Amino acid sequence: MENSEYLEVFIEESKEHIQSLNDQLLLLENEPNNMATVGEIFRSAHTLKGMAATMGFQDLADLTHKMENVLDAVRNNQLEINSDIIDVIFQAVDQLENMVVDIANGGNGARDVQELVKKLQQIEKNEFNSNEITEDTSNVDVSNNANNNFVNLDEFELAILDQSQEKGFSNFSITIRLNENCLLKAARVYMVFESLEQIGEVIKSNPTVQELEDEKFDLEFTVLLVTEADKNTIEESIMRISEIQSIDIQAFTSEKNNKETSKINKEEPDVNENIQKDIDNSNNNVDKGTNNTNNNASKSISNKTIRVNIDRLDGLMNLFEELVIDRGRLEQISANLKNAELQETVERMTRISGDLQSIILNMRMVPVEQVFNRFPRMVRQLSKDLGKKVNLNIIGAETELDRTVIDEIGDPLVHLIRNSLDHGIEKPDTRKAGGKEETGDLILKAYHSGNHVFIEISDDGAGINRHKVIDKAISNGVITAEESNQMTDEQVYALIMSSGFSTADKISDVSGRGVGLDVVKNTIESLGGSISIQSKEGKGSLFSIQLPLTLSIISVLLVEVEKEKYAIPLSSIIETAIINKNEILNAHNKKVIDFRGKVVPLISLKDVFEVPMTEEDSEFASVVIIRKGDKLAGLIVNKFIGQQEIVLKSLGDYLGDVFGISGATILGDGQVALIIDTNTLIN
């Protein structure tokens, strides 16, 4: 399909717009009168509609269109925002999201949205009936939107025009017609804008800047310019740009002077009348109406970024690592040759490639915002469902994490936030009785520290009751009564994340927390991170997650088994030991050792991996003690080589999952070493 190459871009951008819709709607709910926000929402919906229609996703386009109508009504003050309307719009956004997901999965985005469309239409119509400004205006509005030529100036724009006149600047309405053969219209427009910006300031354009950029115009566009320069200068500077067919410069007066306005509008005399009517009819439209200047402002903040497929970054990284290996060889050669010039060059190369490496690594980093930005919406819904008042505060959303970690961390966080809302923060009346504010605070905070990223979720809710946790743990057989006496608070709280602590149906009896938290803990540990809990009964709790900056680089212990090298992740190693063979005991036909008072089963890597025998057995065995949760095991190897930071690589699709191996890495000599998956070795 011809469209397929654009499909990916479409999906990505749609997701962005849907996210922006979600964000802005939440904002709007808090400040229903903020027209800038409405404008923002409208723009996102509008762009989405345009894209969907271009790509041929009719249902998506239709729904956005209906949504846009409602928003337009709001924007033009024909409709007052309330919580119900926002709910319906949220539903619509959810449907949009579902459609986009469907499209991403290869569907056609078709969905039954009749009911929603009806609701949206009702909202739209309801207002029209109750409002004084009836259909007449709405008609005018439509035509107005289509042909608006700077009559719909807002307060801000009018102010600028007035001021400029006071200062002796002139205002011009410039109509520019592009050559029919012009290929890159948007680029020409850009050039026009740029040269205009040099001599003055563009206040407004028709069509809007957005539409111009998207090439959603024919050949002609008009801009409103405030400048010190005279007509000729303007004309000269614009005609310098190629592919401009003609230019028409008119003086522009901001007063609602019929003559002036009609002069500008003389190309469309039939609409003109309507527009005049519009002005007279609803002056407030001009005053509080569209915030087009905001449009321009928000344009300029957008970052200069490009989208790069992560596979390409991986490819870059791979090639770069090869370069590093060769660099190592080169360093060795130059050290041997002792040629000053060569050594200098190699040193320079080493420095440059070091910089290069950090840049490449940084490119894989994404702000944690990508995960965080779905939470405001979730918290809103949940707190509504639960009948609680919650104020979510997000700190440090710009903190960067490796892309791979970002992809994995979402679900555990959702779980923890739900948990905090469900069991942490109390109902408003309970809070009041306890002398707290009715609205609970939920703080989501991310920050860097050393080689780690911390994500903290804290609430000022009920906290954890130590005794209840201990009772529960004892009755479920997680710990014994004796053990419980010696546990610190933190150890007790950690119990709620141990498997088998609590089951879903019983959870509400206990202090509250517990369901599925073991899953959260496991996920985080599989990412090489850890989680800890602090809590004060009645004051609230803090869940702190520590994550490695990146998953693609891990610390390992390199070991030798016969002639083969393997890497064991440091995160799963407790310690290493060299033991005498006669310390190995047999228990039920299994080899075990007594390790610090604990019986630890031994696993011979040589046997597990069927390594060809080459060496004679020695009297001593090197053992790596590994752990999985609370279980320990000792891996027998031949030799410890040392600790190293390695880049994690997959074995590829062809081999798929290999027992006991989680991946591979490339060593300094260019050879591949396999990384041992310690979790599968302990069962």
Partner 1 sequence: MEEVKTQKSIIIELDKEEYAIPVSLVGGIERMQHITRVPKTATFVKGVINLRGVVTPILDLRERFGMEVIQPTESTRIIIIHLEKYDIGFIVDAAYDVLDIDESIIEPAPKVIGTIDVDYIEGVAKVEDRLIMLLNLDKVLSFDSYEVMKERLKVE
Query: Where along the sequence are the contacts to partner 1 (CB under 8 A)?
Result: 317-322, 564, 608-611, 649-655, 658-661, 664, 666, 670-674
Largest CA distance in the chain: 107
Q: How far is the CB of 659 from partner 1 (least distance, A)?
A: 5
Distance CA 229, CA 226 (A): 9
Asked whether 480 and 474 are in contact (CB, 8 A), the reply is yes
Of 507, 503, 648, 459, nearest to 571 by C-alpha is: 648
- Give the span between the Cα atoms of 382 and 421, in whole angstroms: 8
Between 53 and 323, CB nearer to partner 1: 323
Residue partners of 74: CB distance under 8 A and separation at least 6:
38, 80, 81, 85
DSSP state of 493: H
What percent of the residues of the chain are helix, what percent strand, and what percent coil, each to the nearest 5? Answer: 50, 25, 25
Contact 164, 300 (CB under 8 A): no
Q: Is 631 helix (H, G, I), strand (E, B) or coil?
A: strand
Beta bridge partners of 453: 448, 547
- Whether 68 is catalytic is yes
DSSP label of 571 = G
**In terms of Cα–Cα distance, which of 637, 603, 605, 634 is closest to 618?**
637
Taking the complex as a whole, the smallest distance from the CB of residue 678 to partner 1 amounts, in Å, to 15
Tell whether the torsion through CA atoms of 552, 555, 557 and 560 is positive or negative: positive
- Provide, rounded to whole angstroms, the least separation between the CB of residue 679 and partner 1: 16
Q: Are 141 and 134 in contact (CB under 8 A)?
A: no
Give the shortest CB-552-to-partner 1 separation in angstroms: 12
Is 419 catalytic? The answer is yes
Closest to partner 1 by CB, 321 or 489: 321
CA 622 to chain centre: 46
Given the residues 29, 46, 77, 272, select the one marked as catalytic: 46
The distance of closest approach from Cβ of residue 332 to partner 1 in the complex, given in angstroms and rounded to an integer, is 18
Nearer to partner 1, 352 or 655 (CB): 655
Distance separating alpha carbons of residues 63 and 98, to the nearest angstrom? 12
Shortest approach of partner 1 to residue 561 CB, angstroms? 10
Look up 588 and say whether it is catalytic: no
| Least distance from partner 1 to the Cβ atom of residue 660, Å | 7
- Give the single-character DSSP code of 518: H
| Beta carbons of 148 and 196 less than 8 angstroms apart | no
Question: 29, 40, 68, 127: which one is catalytic?
Answer: 68
Considering beta carbons, is residue 86 or 323 the nearer one to partner 1?
Answer: 323
**Element housing 447 (H / E):** strand 440-449
In the complex, minimum distance from the CB of residue 566 to partner 1, in angstroms, rounded to a whole number: 10
How would you class 253 by CB atoms within 10 Å of its CB: exposed for 0-12, middle for 13-18, buried for 19 or more?
middle
> Six-digit token pair at 610?
């069927």
Cβ neighbours around 209 below 10 Å, total: 20
Q: Give the nearer residue to partner 1 in terms of CB position, either 299 or 563.
A: 563
Q: Toward partner 1, which CB reaches closer, 155 or 657? A: 657
Smaller CB distance to partner 1: residue 286 or 567? 567
The residue (of 133 and 647) whose beta carbon lies closer to partner 1 is 647
Candidates 152, 285, 295, 419; catalytic one:
419
- Specify the residue, 394 or 661, whose C-beta has the smaller distance to partner 1: 661
Contact between residue 626 and residue 576 where contact means Cβ atoms under 8 Å apart: no
Residues 4 and 9: their CA atoms lie apart, in Å, by 9
Residue 531 near residue 523 (C-beta atoms within 8 A): no
Question: Which residues fall within 8 angstroms of residue 450, CB to CB, at 6 or more apart?
Answer: none
Nearer to partner 1 by C-beta: 458 or 665? Answer: 665
In 228-261, beta strands by DSSP E: 244-251
Minimum distance of partner 1 from residue 291's CB (angstroms): 50
CB of 98 to partner 1, least distance (A): 29
Residue 297 CA to its chain's centroid (Å): 23
Catalytic residue annotation: 46, 68, 419
